[in-house]
């Protein structure tokens, strides 16, 4: 199948309006059990959806940045993984299979950039997923490659099928390649507990032999592997990921591994499935485990009801135990990290996704309180952007908690050279790098889709302009050394593959038309986004029936 240029169908553009938060939450369409708390709404609000404002000029500006990034990658790096835009060279940092091409696939599709779609579609069948000279991360390969391929297949056999013509073999090949990759990766789960080894080698596929794995790298497989089972009719893939997830849903040693209800430690013993520590947070190493709990419930609330319950437990504990306000800016709301039950007042850019996740959960469960809290988290991450010299948020930031004694050992003050900055901004910078991360814009996107409030479009536009002004160099865009120095303090000469998948997609979607893959506030979602921002089609009634029959037959 090749995808053809042509006019796109377009719905009417409604003016954006500012409406109350309660009105934006309508009655969820699926039944929830007694442990999954939902707020009831009057029937008068059940058909409400916010109005959205399409901004074609801004959407086109993002598309132009995508094209610049793709042209540089395609000229100087393809079919390698990543572009080095300063030196016009390449890096094979993700197995040498063309990570940027696969990560760009779904973005090119939702942008309806058929030239790039066809370039990637012709490339995918040529990838040799049987061999690579590098060690392979099961987690990174799942979210980028497997997620990217499944998303493209879902889009090309779903809402974008109308744009294809001719031979469909390449589209079929996308799913076949996803299956081929998973068949090679599944050796990771061949452990005494079923908790996978995250690091593999191919030729032939084998585990590296790690003794532990983290909750994000264990718990961010289940959406992609379940989707592959649903598309192929082979339950094996989903069963493997769901068994691994079971150790996180019900920790075997909660006294250590679950210091707060629903909030876990980070590292798990691969042999036993026992937790090895009680340290965690909403940042790197833990983040997407919590993210996928509510997304699996959205994917199929019948099969994954327990995931929704565990998400509610985790976010309720976060609100009860982790909320922190800086001494100099008590109006800001951050979530602390924890070392067992001792809080650490540090966060990171990666954790800025949490506002969007709370908002999505609030929409899904019809709970305005979660939406409101998510908006507060998004606001705080917005402040980390607008406070720096570049207008971009830092990789790591700290603050002093306003409720603990100022002399507490876990509550130090700002370094002397950042005291003035902290007095104004409410945080100080622990690591000033920016590596083309999407999480702040991601939360602005969810905030906008929940409320229709155009201020979130403005926040996303400010962030995009700042990144475009600071990171644009040579043949593409590069990570920078310090967001609080003029011009970013220098380039690292690296364009991440997730720049295509996430930053450019979220920046585009917030200004784009209300297509089927957009997040819906009225519970008509057709897609759920994986942690790499690849839209995955939610389970259909047929898939739910098929899985129900399979489970009954297995008893």
Of 103, 140, 502, 515, which is the active-site residue?
140
pTM for this predicted structure: 0.91
- Residue 428 host element (H or E): strand 428-431
Strand-strand pairing, 267-269 and 212-214 = antiparallel
Q: For the chain, 555 residues long, give each residue's pLDDT as a single digit of tens.
A: 655 443 333 333 233 332 333 333 333 333 333 356 544 433 333 446 799 999 999 999 999 999 999 999 999 999 999 999 999 999 999 999 999 999 999 999 999 999 999 999 999 999 999 999 999 999 999 999 999 999 999 999 999 997 765 567 889 999 999 999 999 999 999 999 999 999 999 999 999 999 999 999 999 999 999 999 999 999 999 999 999 999 999 999 999 999 999 999 999 999 999 999 999 999 999 999 999 999 999 999 999 999 999 999 999 999 999 999 999 999 999 999 999 999 999 999 999 999 999 999 999 999 999 999 999 999 999 999 999 999 999 999 999 999 999 989 999 999 999 999 999 999 999 999 999 999 999 999 999 999 999 999 999 999 999 999 999 999 999 999 999 999 999 999 999 999 999 999 999 999 999 999 999 999 899 999 999 999 999 997 555 544 555 454 443
Q: Among residues 154, 173, 309, 439, which one is catalytic?
A: 439
Task: Name the active-site residue from 103, 306, 309, 395.
Answer: 395
172 is in an annotated binding site: no
Active site residue 140: yes
Per the CB < 8 A criterion, the answer to whether 71 and 500 are in contact is: no
- 3-state class (DSSP) for residue 375: helix
Neighbour count for residue 89 (Cβ, 10 Å): 14
Query: Is 487 considered catalytic here?
Result: no
Concatenate the DSSP letters of all residues of 128-187 into one string: -TT--SS-EEHHHHIIIIIHHHHHHHHHHTTTTGGGEES--HHHHHHHHHHHHHHHHHGG
Q: Indicate which residue of 103, 173, 258, 287 is catalytic.
A: 287
- Say how far apart CA 494 and CA 135 lie, in whole Å: 20
Q: What is the pLDDT of residue 164?
A: 61
State residue 393's pLDDT score: 99
Q: The tokens of 290 are what?
A: 């919590």
Neighbour tally for 531: CB within 10 Å: 25
Helix, strand, coil share of the chain (percent; to 5)? 50, 10, 40
In angstroms, rounded to a whole number, what is the distance separating the alpha carbons of residues 386 and 513? Answer: 27
| Residue 149: alpha-carbon gap to chain centroid | 16
Per DSSP, the three-state class of 528 is strand
Residue 279 is inside which H or E element, if any? strand 279-280
3-state secondary structure 474-514: CCEECCECCCCCHHHHCECCCECHHHHHHHHHHHHHCCCCC
pLDDT of residue 93: 98
For the chain, which domains are there?
Answer: 54-519+530-554 (1.50.10.10)
Pairing of strands 428-431, 396-398: antiparallel
Q: How far is CA 296 from CA 220, 484, 534, in A?
A: 10, 38, 14
Q: Give the integer Cα–Cα distance in Å for 502 and 436.
A: 9
Q: Which of 511, 501, 508 is nearest to 535 (CA)?
A: 501
- Identify whether 513 is a catalytic site residue: no
Residues 121 and 2: beta-carbon distance below 8 Å? yes
The CA distances from residue 220 to 146, 418, 432, 532, 536, in Å, are 12, 36, 27, 10, 14
Work out the angle at residue 459's Cα, subtended by the Cα atoms of residues 308 and 387, and round it to the nearest 5 degrees.
Answer: 105
The predicted structure's pLDDT at residue 553 = 45
């Amino acid at each position: 199948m090749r995808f053809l240029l042509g006019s796109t169908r377009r719905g009417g553009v409604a003016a954006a309006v500012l409406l109350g938060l309660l009105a934006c939450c309508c009655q969820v369409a699926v039944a929830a059990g007694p442990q999954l708390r939902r707020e009831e709404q009057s029937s008068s609000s059940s058909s409400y959806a916010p109005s959205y404002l399409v901004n074609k000029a801004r959407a086109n500006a993002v598309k132009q940045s995508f094209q610049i990034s793709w042209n540089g990658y395609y000229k100087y790096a393809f079919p390698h993984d990543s572009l080095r835009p300063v030196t016009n060279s390449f890096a094979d940092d993700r197995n040498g299979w063309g990570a940027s091409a696969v990560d760009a696939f779904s973005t090119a599709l939702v942008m309806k950039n058929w030239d790039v779609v066809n370039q990637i579609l012709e490339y995918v069948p040529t990838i040799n997923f049987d061999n690579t000279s590098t060690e392979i991360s099961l987690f990174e390969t799942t979210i980028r490659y497997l997620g990217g391929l499944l998303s493209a297949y879902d889009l090309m056999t779903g809402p974008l099928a109308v744009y294809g013509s001719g031979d469909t073999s390449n589209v079929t090949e996308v799913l076949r390649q996803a299956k081929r990759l998973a068949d090679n990766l599944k050796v990771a789960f061949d452990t005494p507990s079923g908790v996978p080894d995250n690091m593999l080698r191919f030729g032939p596929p084998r585990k590296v032999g790690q003794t532990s794995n983290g909750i994000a790298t264990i718990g961010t497989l289940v959406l992609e592997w379940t989707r592959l089972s649903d598309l192929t009719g082979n339950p094996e893939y989903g069963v493997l990921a769901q068994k691994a997830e079971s150790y996180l849903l019900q920790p075997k040693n909660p006294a250590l591994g679950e210091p707060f209800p629903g909030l876990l430690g980070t590292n798990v013993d691969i042999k036993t499935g026992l937790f090895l520590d009680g340290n965690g947070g909403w940042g790197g190493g833990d983040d997407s485990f919590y993210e996928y709990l509510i997304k699996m419930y959205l994917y199929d609330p019948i099969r994954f009801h327990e995931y929704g319950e565990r998400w509610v437990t985790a976010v309720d504990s976060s609100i009860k135990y982790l909320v922190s306000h800086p001494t100099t800016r008590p109006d800001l709301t951050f979530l602390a990290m924890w070392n067992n039950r001792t809080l650490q007042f540090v966060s990171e850019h990666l954790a800025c996704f949490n506002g969007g996740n709370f908002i999505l959960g609030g929409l899904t469960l019809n709970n305005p309180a979660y939406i409101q809290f998510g908006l507060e988290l998004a606001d705080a991450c917005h402040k980390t952007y607008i406070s720096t010299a570049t207008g971009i948020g830092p990789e790591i930031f700290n603050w002093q908690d306003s409720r603990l004694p100022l002399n507490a050992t876990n509550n130090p003050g700002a370094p002397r050279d950042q005291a003035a900055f902290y007095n104004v901004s409410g945080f100080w910078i622990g690591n000033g790098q920016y590596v083309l991360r999407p999480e702040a814009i991601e939360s602005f996107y969810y905030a906008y889709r929940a409320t229709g409030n155009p201020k979130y479009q403005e926040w996303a536009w400010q962030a995009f302009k700042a990144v475009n002004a600071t990171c644009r160099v040579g043949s593409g865009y590069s990570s920078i050394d310090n967001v609080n120095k003029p011009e970013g303090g220098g380039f690292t000469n690296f364009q991440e593959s997730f720049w295509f998948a996430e930053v450019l997609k979220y920046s585009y979607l917030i200004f784009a038309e209300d297509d089927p893959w957009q997040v819906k506030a009225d519970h008509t979602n057709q897609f759920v986004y994986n942690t790499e921002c690849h839209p995955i089609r939610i389970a259909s009634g047929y898939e739910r029936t098929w899985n129900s029959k399979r489970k009954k037959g297995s008893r």
